[in-house]
Structure 1
Amino acid sequence: MPVQDVVFGFGAHTGLGDVPELLRMAQQADDDGLDIFSLSDHPYIGGRLDAYAALGFVLGRTRHITGFANVTNLPTRPAPMLARTVTSLSALSGGRIVLGMGAGGLWDRIADMGVPRLSPGDAVDAFEEAIVLVKSLSGGGPPVTHRGRHYRVDEIEPAPVPAPPVWTGSVGPRSLAATGRVADGWIPGHAADWLSERYRTSRQVIDEAAAAAGRNPREIRTVFNFPGRITDRPAAATRDRDGRWIGGSAGEWAEELTGAVLEHGASGFTLFPAGDGEHDAVSLARWAREVVPAVREAIAKEDG
């Protein structure tokens, strides 16, 4: 069976002082052939860039790479307007946008922005309803009327632009099941990887919900947020005592990620620096020029 197209990217900071470095990294990644870049969305932090303003700016200064918010703070971005935002970015960039979607996590800060606080169950219901509504307001067709529990629109024309893929940051069972029913991809929380119990149990919920909705679970890709160091020499250990990946040489990275794709069905990786650090030009270049080509080559050989 053919291996699903695998995407490789990096996650960047969105501090107001990070703009020159963000643009430099995105342009380097674009030139080096990476597929995606991601920005966090925390609009209640005054020192952060607005994620969607930053996405539009970076997409306008690059040619090939796709951007997404990892993940969109949905409670602060009403679904009908979010649909307009992502379809507009898609039209402006030639389709280089993914909609990363979350139900909302830091509700104390979200409520500080004047957003009505939702219970966990209501937040998940709103999250699923929003994904459905964004998709219905994309791709053309007749005017949409939607009267749900959390959103209402009357005779609104969909954008003639297809909906971007929707990748969620679901963690709990209800939101994982919603991902299986209506989303196109999943980003495991807490940087859990393919060897973790969190991944195994969570992915099962997604797959069961997808199958119950008449969908093929294989169509829902898993894109891992994956932190670690890329070292000059092979590491004595590439995982810590708890089994979490900590990094190694480019060859060790390539071997690990190739196994993740071929043996565990991984379909994407977003590189983050280890700990609370920041990317440096050398590490990002090694990722794009050494690790990623090696994984792509190994996958192509297996797929061929």
Structure 2
Amino acid sequence: MKLGLQIPDFTWPNGASALGADLAAVVRAGDQAGFDSIAVMDHFFQIGAVGPVENDMLEAYTTLGFIAAHTERAKLLTVVTGVLYRHPGLLAKAVTTLDVLSGGRAILGIGAGWNEEESRGLGFPFPSVAERFELLEENLQYVLQMWTDGDAPFKSKHFDAGRLLNVPQALQKPRPLIMIGGGGEKKTLKLVAKYADACNLFNGPDLERKLDVLRQHCENEGRDYDSITKTVYHILDVGENGEKSDELLAELERLNGLGIQVALGMVPHVHRPAVLEKFATEVVPAAEKLV
């Protein structure tokens, strides 16, 4: 099993003036510890599950570019970009740029979006659920076309683009991987089966049912269920002194038994060097042995 380090919180002890140096140190340590990926949220305001809305929040793709410069091997992604925040042409260009400048390490994490507070706060449109899912499917179609040869136009209900020129193209072939976040059984998981390389689900009591629903959508779409990488969001908590390592490893073993291939989530106390050292010496090597 692979582990992904998500960094959702930037309100750190040394403050904003030291955040660049502190973040560089954390991602270098995470990269060296063997995390398969490093992710950030794509939000403009902090979300309630992490902290007060006024806490520090960095723009996602600028931050991923910074992280790319301080890492060598970990894949880079958002968990996940809401379709409300960027025109798909800009989104495809941003992920392509990240892929080129990182040496082929970008993943597109995408979802329908949900945070009305930050959207209204900054003046972004916040359409209905139905329209957000229309936008999600059209975004997927749009970026997939941008990652193919040629520069044909694209027209859909919400977009009318005259020339999908994308030069240089991404280094990954045939294109960067696409991960759709969310567990909606009627729409989200259907889009996973139709378009995505990976899903991202929450580690909740309904996880097994969500996987069964995804399997059925794959059958309906004529898609090989095993071709989709199954990832879950799970807080990777070893405790301040490693006292929760065994508990975390037991949960990773359970998830592995369900067919989960990647556990991705925040690491409490991530800015403390000893915490990531525990992952490097114990947790990542043990997780990699789960098959």
TM-score normalized with structure 2 length: 0.84
Residue 31 of structure 1: SS of its match in structure 2? helix
Match status 1:257 vs 2:252: yes
Q: How many residues align?
A: 272
- Look up the match of 2:266: 272
Match status 1:286 vs 2:278: yes
Of the three residues 176, 179, 185, the one matched with 2:189 is: 176
Pairwise CA distance, 1:97: 1.1
Match status 1:9 vs 2:17: no
Q: Which has the higher contact order (CA 8 A, sep 6+)?
A: 2
Match status 1:203 vs 2:211: yes
- Look up the match of 1:243: none
Contact kept in structure 2, 1:183 and 1:220, CA below 8 Å: yes
- Look up the match of 1:115: 124
Pairwise CA distance, 1:202: 2.1
Contact kept in structure 1, 2:145 and 2:164, CA below 8 Å: no
Alpha-carbon separation, structure 2, partners of 1:298 and 1:73: 32
Contact kept in structure 2, 1:14 and 1:49, CA below 8 Å: no
Taking only aligned residues, the RMSD between alpha carbons, in angstroms, comes to 2.4
Percent identical residues: 23
Output the amino acid matched with 2:273. Answer: A
Question: Where does 1:13-162 land on structure 2 (aligned, <5 Å)?
Answer: 13-15=8-10, 17=16, 18-44=19-45, 47-139=56-148, 141-159=149-167, 160-161=169-170, 162=174
Contact kept in structure 2, 1:170 and 1:179, CA below 8 Å: no
Alpha-carbon separation, structure 2, partners of 1:298 and 1:205: 25
Q: Deviations over 1:229-276 (max 9, x none)?
A: 3259997xxxxxxxxxxxx334x4334323422x211110124245xx
Structure 1 gaps of 5+ residues are 1-5, 236-247, 300-304
Alpha-carbon separation, structure 1, partners of 2:6 and 2:241: 24
TM-score normalized with structure 1 length: 0.81
- Look up the match of 2:201: 188
Q: After TM superposition, where is structure 1 displaced by more than 4 Å over at least 4 residues in a row?
A: 231-235
Alpha-carbon separation, structure 2, partners of 1:294 and 1:98: 25
Output the amino acid matched with 1:35. Answer: D
Is 67-76 or 37-46 further displaced after alignment? 37-46
Pairwise CA distance, 1:44: 4.6
Do the aligned partners of residues 231 and 158 (structure 1) sit closer, same or farther apart at CA in structure 2, a change above 3 Å counting? closer
- Look up the match of 1:3: none
Structure 2 gaps of 5+ residues are 47-53
